[in-house]
Amino acid sequence: MPPKSLLPSRFQLAMANSTLVLVPVWGIGHFVPMLEAGKRLLTRSGRSLKITVLVMPEPEAKLASEIADHIRQEEASGLPIRFHHLPALAPPTDHSGIEEFISRYVQRYAPHVKAAVAGLTCPVAGVVVDLFCTTLFDVVHELGVPAYVYLIASAAMCALLLRSPSLDEEVPAEVEFEETEGGTVDVPGLPPVPACCLPTGLENRKITTYKWFLYNGRRYTEASGIIVNTVAELQPGVLAAIADGRCTRGITAPSVYTIGPVIPFTQSSEKASHECVRWLDSQPPASVVFLCFGGKGSFTAPQAHEIAHGLERSGQRFLWVLRGPPEPGNKLPTDGNLAELLPASFLEKTKERGLVWPAKAPQKEILAHAAVGGFVTHGGWNSILESLWVGVPMVPWPLGAEQHYNAFTLVADMGVAVYMKVDRKRSNFVEAAELEGAVKALMDGGEAARKVRERTVAMRAACRKAVEEGGSSSLALQRLCEALVVGRSDLPDLLKQSQQKEQETESVETGS
């Protein structure tokens, strides 16, 4: 449960009737975690703080309904959250990657964001922008309002973004990172990072998206604070490196607030449990490996055949969510046509120990089931946090974005995953034998699996403790609330009023 308010009364008074402005990216995987963070701040402030969400339209109309449904649910909740819809603007069409697309598209909204914030009738405690939205900093600074960045990614990703401008200066412009001696880059707090594990767009210095990575990394140092959806105990070395200025060449980095895991857990509206969950009910404890690859993960028949052969030969029980490639003009996967995607006899051969599910599945509910003992995941940070929350070790199979970097940190730094070779240059192809070996290593109870499981169980305990009163994330949330109060331009007068009221109360109570 989110923590109750522990703010002193003078801070609550100073925060009363003020609002925090959130500017999330339109994707559901960004929108929901930022909104959930805002709701936790509401609770921590004793609901003295209000939330205003600036909603940028989804560039693709086909994807807009999921956000709209979520907004309707929040509007019906009664919480002091107001949604301000910004007008539709034409998106850029000549970008080289999603990070460039977001940065430039959001930049077009700067005048509208400025007008929306300036038009608020209550004091503004701060503006929180999504991780590639620092193009909005100029207008926020012009308004004299504190600017914050919210990362749905890991502390390691925060360190890499802060480090990226100096990394760029250290390597000659004509040289790719993989061409340097050792083929690795230095991210303080981590083992040497193979260049092949850098996020998509940052591994290729010739494309314009690379420049936008550097742009955002530079502007992070202008923030009043960086809010990260993680737990301090998960990557302490990286956080120490950020705090010590090792990621920013000795320049003091903004305060980092680790408030995670920010995972929205909502009760299912379905009266009956999902078919996947009912199937798990009949399986032994910790015996099933769960394969699921996020909202955009899908496979063609050749790759699906490799997965099928690997699972069959592994001998392990499995629950596999298999989606088909998107239809032309769409980015979301289709429901899997199992007859086309799978080998002819696979379902018959494995029917006693496996289930292939061709549509969306309730990932959080499945991961929390006692029968699940391992998770083959694309390695999105939200999925990683969900897995750590319930103590399920992983096999990362990155498909894009920062997932290759996440996979490296899960194995080499956090120790909660078993390595599997993924051929990035072949569209992240994995051979059947490679999957078979990784699944066996995770599920067979050997020494390697034991160490990973022990580490995952420890991470589970750390995540749970962090959000309890007095835990690291609870305290970080309180510090953030206090920082937001300090950032208000009308704070001196409000604190003076608060102190006068407290003195008057003390006088009455003592009879003086």
Token couple for 184: 């690795």
493 annotated active-site: no
- Residue 69 C-beta-side C-alpha neighbours within 13 Å: 6
- Catalytic position from the list 130, 369, 378, 413: 130
* 27 phi, psi to nearest 5 deg: -65, 140
332 DSSP assignment: S
From CA 422, how far away is CA 427, in angstroms rounded? 9
Give the number of residues written for the chain.
Answer: 512
CA dist 220 → 3, 88, 199, 251 (Å): 28, 27, 18, 12
Cβ 321 vs Cβ 361: under 8 Å: yes
Pick from 203, 209, 234: nearest CA to 389: 234
Q: With CA atoms as reference, report the closest residue to 148 among 40, 227, 32.
A: 227
DSSP state of 425: G
Distance CA 205, CA 114 (A): 33
The encoded tokens of residue 439 equal 């699944």
Tokens coding 386: 């969900």
Question: Three-state SS for 18?
Answer: strand
How far, in Å, CA of 427 to CA of 403, rounded? Answer: 13
**186 given a catalytic annotation:** no
DSSP string, 212-236: HHHHHHHHHTTSSEEEESS-TTTSH
Rg over alpha carbons for the chain, rounded to the nearest Å, is 24
Cβ atoms of residues 429 and 435 within 8 Å: no
Strands 193-194 and 184-185: antiparallel
- For tokens 């959080």, the residue is 364
Residue ranges of alpha helices (H) inside 146-207 are: 155-170
Nearest to 382 by CA among 480, 464, 260, 299: 260
In Å, how far are 169, 259, 438 from 379, measured between CA atoms? 29, 20, 15
Pairing state between β 394-396 and 323-324: unpaired
Q: What is residue 391's DSSP assignment?
A: T
Enzyme catalytic residues: 30, 130
